[in-house]
Structure 1
Amino acid sequence: MLTFILRRLGAILLVLLVASFIVYTLTSIGSDPLSDLRGSNAPNREEQIAQRIEKLSLNTPVVIRYFLWLGGASKCLIGQCDLGIAFSRSDQPVTEAVANAANSTIQLVTAATIIAIIVGLTIGILTALRQYSGFDYTVTFLTFIVYSLPIFWIAVLLKEFGAIQFNQFLANPNIPIPVMLVTGLVVGFIFMSILGGGARKRLITFGSAFAATALLLAFLQITNWFASPSIGIVGVIITGLAAAVGVTAISTGLANRRTLYSALIVVAVWAALYQPLQYLFFFVPQGWMLLALYVVAIGVGVGVGLLVGGDGKKEAARTAAIVSFITVFTMVIDRTMLVYEDYLRKIPQSGAIATIGSQTPNLSGDMWFQIMDGFTHLLLPTIALALVSIAAYTRYARSSLLEVMNQDYVRTARAKGLSERTVIVRHALRNALIPIATIIAFDIGALIGGAVITETIFAWKGMGSLFVDGLRRGDVNLVMGFFLVTGVLAVVFNLVADLLYSALDPRIRVS
């Protein structure tokens, strides 16, 4: 393993050297960093041109300039990066400009990537298991439509209906009875298609989903939830119980009682600590507190799993840790919702859902206000990026799982009498994830490079806009700073994909 990693790191270094030389040379030859000064009417124009020529060493041959840049970039290996200055950004150090842009982009793409992977793989697996059903045909039709739509059109629609129209609704929230009924019908048809079964089972599923959805919307309307949203201890318990049942069903199956009990005990522990934690949330609103709380949540889950898990301690600890994290995360969301009304009073002109920028300028308030503000700005661009990725992952997951389900070892597993959950989760799904791991690894590396169109529409100053600005102004140092981050991430995630192969399939060896 170590030999393989060292060999790949050597190849990565060679690839980055060749690629950086090509990008630096082509950018330097194809751009003019003095174009803005040549068109200027300033009386000291010639002096400014001379200063920029000296500052950027433009009198030096391109090859020499590249090696000068490479000398500064190589200092990144010892934590002292020197990537020059970005003249297009008032001589700001490139390292600072790239760090700010990368921070904005990571905020944007992290949530979108996680949502796309979880939702896309889940829908893809469900459509593969329900092949040629009405649900399969409907999802296939919708995914092809979403995948073919241009991202700028999706973003514009989201700004119109997800922000402008929805903000108008939030100003005077009212859910008419016909909307409740239609929503209930749609949800009922979706659940009926997913679960399938005979006519009686389908009818029961449809009726249950319809009634639950309609009653939930009626409850939200009666309690005026949209004007003052909250989850409360009841919502935290319900979410925790749902997570305990769902994660256990996927992880070990509900027949494994010790694992299920471990997950339920974790939910009970955090339900008992709900009120004491409110004092912690109010008096210690710090980022390190949340990080420590998440670590404690995972530790509590692992501890309970090891104590209660019996012979399956490993599976119980893993399941309880996931359920514990989900429960605590729900409590954090609940605390953030408490500042909703105060947050709206501080931004009366913007509305609950923001349409531009990554944050509200000069917003005062503690950590909870900042979390709420970040969420309102992240919501629309995250949905725009996630929708297209969900459509792609759904198709990849479906085709990959269908191919694996027809393999001989899957039929053999069924013939041995293994449960359908074990056959799918332990045997089929694990091998189906191998090609998907490659796609996800490359997508993550590409997304960090910035979603240029999405960032432009939502005025998000990330890596995409940094690259476009540098290329337009002929700022070679800025372009190379972008390349250094995205290039390193691309090759690193390629290495990660190779290592995932051996983790997913024991037959594959990195040697």
Structure 2
Amino acid sequence: MVSFIVRRILVSILVLLAASFIMYVLAANSGNPLQDLQGSNSPNRQALIEARIAQQHLDVIPPLRWVLWLGGVAKCVVPVGGGCDLGTTFANQPVTVLLPSAMVSTLQLVTLAFILAIVLGIALGIVTALRVYSGFDYTITLFSFFLFSLPSFLMAVLLKSFVALGYNSFLADPHIPLSTLIVVGVVLGVLVQLAVGGPLRRRLVAFFATGILSALILGLLSAADWFTHPQLGPVFVILFTAAIGFGIVSLLAGIHNRRAILTAAINVLIAIIAYFALQGLFNISSVGTLLTLAIVTVAVGLISGYFVGGYDRGLMMRIGGLTAFLSAGVVLLDRFVQSWDNYVALIGGRPIATVGSQTPSLGGDVWITGIDTYTHLLLPTISLLLISFAGYTRYSRSGMLEVLDQDYVRTARAKGLPERTVIVRHAFRNMLIPIATLIATDIGALLGGAVITETVFAISGMGALFNSGLQRTDVNPIMGYFLVIAITAIAFNFLADLAYAALDPRVRVR
């Protein structure tokens, strides 16, 4: 194992060196780095040109400049002679200062979209594989290919035009007409009956129940002015946390497993008690307080699963941890909603933002700033999510179909195991092997795709840093962007190799 890791590190260093050389030479020859100064009317134009040439070593050919840049990168690995040095921009700003803030903005944007794309894509892929060649399968397949074919800039522009501007205008008069309620009910009813499948009578019941219920709920929310003054309250928290516990138990263990029911019930009860007990603490909370509560919440879920688990502690700990984490999310969601009216008043009544990652000079507590971050990153996250999850859906579907045709799955069914156990415990793990490869390759592409998304939404992240450097032929910020992308891609490919051994006992690292 140690020798494998050492070999991979050495190979990765060689790949990184070769790729950085090619990237540096291409970036340096992509344009004229003095173009803005040569077209200037400044009386000291020649002095500015000579200063930039001296600062950026533009009188040295690009391969030798790459060697100088590499010397500064080496100081980041072995901090001697002044510490890490990735060069400076044309504005004389150190790249090592610009990178951290740009990375934070991009990670905020990419991380949630990446996680949601994996979760939703795998879930939909499994469902379509179990309902192969059904109406639901054909609908998801068509939807996936449609999203996969859309350019990222077009998706971003459509979201800004129809979601942000449309919803902000809707809030000025939040009344849903009857025709819209009928259309929404019909669309949701069609989607649900496709997912339910089965005999015609069953699908008709699902269609009418879903359509009537969704139209009724939207009508009540509109009549109660919920869209301008949203609130959840204890009834919602209790019902939703109970539904989370029931769903996790049904999915992972089955509703007949008493230990699973007890584990989920303990964590749901703790979440409900915490909802009433921690309201005062929430009013004075900070980010550190919320992170501490999150760690304690997951720890309580794992501990409860360990003591209740008996012969199957691993499964009970997963049930306890997931139930505790998701239930705590519902409690936090309620607290964020309580601050929604104050936030809307502070920003002038149009909450869904279309540019930037935060509102300049916005004051407020952790709840106000949290809502502000959410409203700014909502559309970019949806844009990246819709484009990314289509691939995971297709790979999950094909992987599950291949696994379901294996002998060990047929044997598990022949032994009389429940279908949920066959899918979750036997097929799901082996289906994840190609997904691990896809995740490793997709993370670099997702970070690269954020260049376009950040440009459309005016977010000052890694994409903006790369784009501004490319437009001015400013090589140092381009290479800073390259380093982050390349190291991330190499690290995730290495983790994918290790994941193969964890997912498939036949794979061993030698």
TM-score under structure 1 normalisation?
0.95
Cα distance, 1:78 vs structure 2: 4.7
Report the counterpart of residue 91 of structure 1 in structure 2: 92
Could you tell me whether the CA contact under 8 Å between 2:271 and 2:331 is conserved in 1? no
Report the counterpart of residue 100 of structure 1 in structure 2: 101
Report the counterpart of residue 141 of structure 1 in structure 2: 142
Q: How far, CA to CA, are the matches of 2:291 and 2:406 in structure 1? A: 44
Counterpart code for 1:32: N
Report the counterpart of residue 238 of structure 2 in structure 1: 237
Q: How far, CA to CA, are the matches of 1:54 and 1:182 in structure 2? A: 66
Could you tell me whether the CA contact under 8 Å between 1:250 and 1:421 is conserved in 2? yes
Cα distance, 1:415 vs structure 2: 1.6
Output the aligned Cα RMSD. Answer: 1.7
Q: How far, CA to CA, are the matches of 1:311 and 1:429 in structure 2? A: 22
Q: How far, CA to CA, are the matches of 2:75 and 2:217 in structure 1? A: 58
* Amino-acid identity (%): 50
CA offsets 1:371-401 (integer angstroms, 9 cap, x no match): 1111111111111111111222111111121
Deviates more, 1:184-193 or 1:229-238: 184-193
Report the counterpart of residue 274 of structure 1 in structure 2: 275
Q: How far, CA to CA, are the matches of 1:187 and 1:194 in structure 2? A: 11
Deviates more, 1:59-68 or 1:8-17: 59-68
Q: How far, CA to CA, are the matches of 1:309 and 1:189 in structure 2? A: 41
Q: How far, CA to CA, are the matches of 1:407 and 1:160 in structure 2? A: 47
Report the counterpart of residue 364 of structure 1 in structure 2: 363
Report the counterpart of residue 483 of structure 2 in structure 1: 484
Q: How far, CA to CA, are the matches of 1:298 and 1:467 in structure 2? A: 38
2:114 is aligned with 1:113: yes
Q: How far, CA to CA, are the matches of 2:11 and 2:504 in structure 1? A: 24
Cα distance, 1:275 vs structure 2: 1.8
Q: How far, CA to CA, are the matches of 2:31 and 2:211 in structure 1? A: 61
Could you tell me whether the CA contact under 8 Å between 2:251 and 2:420 is conserved in 1? yes
Q: How far, CA to CA, are the matches of 1:193 and 1:61 in structure 2? A: 63
Could you tell me whether the CA contact under 8 Å between 1:450 and 1:463 is conserved in 2? no
Counterpart code for 1:114: I
Q: How far, CA to CA, are the matches of 1:440 and 1:152 in structure 2? A: 22
Q: How far, CA to CA, are the matches of 2:504 and 2:69 in structure 1? A: 42
Could you tell me whether the CA contact under 8 Å between 1:102 and 1:448 is conserved in 2? no
Counterpart code for 1:304: S
Could you tell me whether the CA contact under 8 Å between 1:450 and 1:462 is conserved in 2? no
Counterpart code for 2:73: A
Deviates more, 1:130-139 or 1:19-28: 19-28
Report the counterpart of residue 171 of structure 1 in structure 2: 172
Q: How far, CA to CA, are the matches of 1:456 and 1:62 in structure 2? A: 28
Could you tell me whether the CA contact under 8 Å between 1:449 and 1:482 is conserved in 2? no
Q: How far, CA to CA, are the matches of 1:169 and 1:45 in structure 2? A: 52
Q: How far, CA to CA, are the matches of 2:355 and 2:29 in structure 1? A: 35
Q: How far, CA to CA, are the matches of 2:451 and 2:109 in structure 1? A: 12
Report the counterpart of residue 58 of structure 2 in structure 1: 58
Cα distance, 1:38 vs structure 2: 1.4
Report the counterpart of residue 506 of structure 2 in structure 1: 507
2:318 is aligned with 1:318: yes
Q: Which runs of 5+ in 1 are unaligned?
A: none
Q: How far, CA to CA, are the matches of 1:268 and 1:500 in structure 2? A: 35
SS of alignment partner, residue 97 of structure 2:
helix
Cα distance, 1:465 vs structure 2: 2.1
TM-score under structure 2 normalisation?
0.95
Report the counterpart of residue 48 of structure 2 in structure 1: 48
The size of the alignment, in residue pairs, is 507
Q: How far, CA to CA, are the matches of 1:127 and 1:390 in structure 2? A: 14
CA offsets 1:157-203 (integer angstroms, 9 cap, x no match): 21111011111111221122333333233223322221223334334
Deviates more, 1:208-217 or 1:334-343: 208-217
Could you tell me whether the CA contact under 8 Å between 2:152 and 2:449 is conserved in 1? no
Could you tell me whether the CA contact under 8 Å between 1:248 and 1:260 is conserved in 2? yes
Q: How far, CA to CA, are the matches of 2:440 and 2:148 in structure 1? A: 19
Report the counterpart of residue 417 of structure 1 in structure 2: 416
Q: How far, CA to CA, are the matches of 2:310 and 2:182 in structure 1? A: 47
SS of alignment partner, residue 278 of structure 2:
helix
Report the counterpart of residue 209 of structure 2 in structure 1: 208
CA offsets 1:461-489 (integer angstroms, 9 cap, x no match): 22122112112211111111111111101
CA offsets 1:110-138 (integer angstroms, 9 cap, x no match): 11111111111111111111011111111
Q: How far, CA to CA, are the matches of 2:469 and 2:449 in structure 1? A: 14
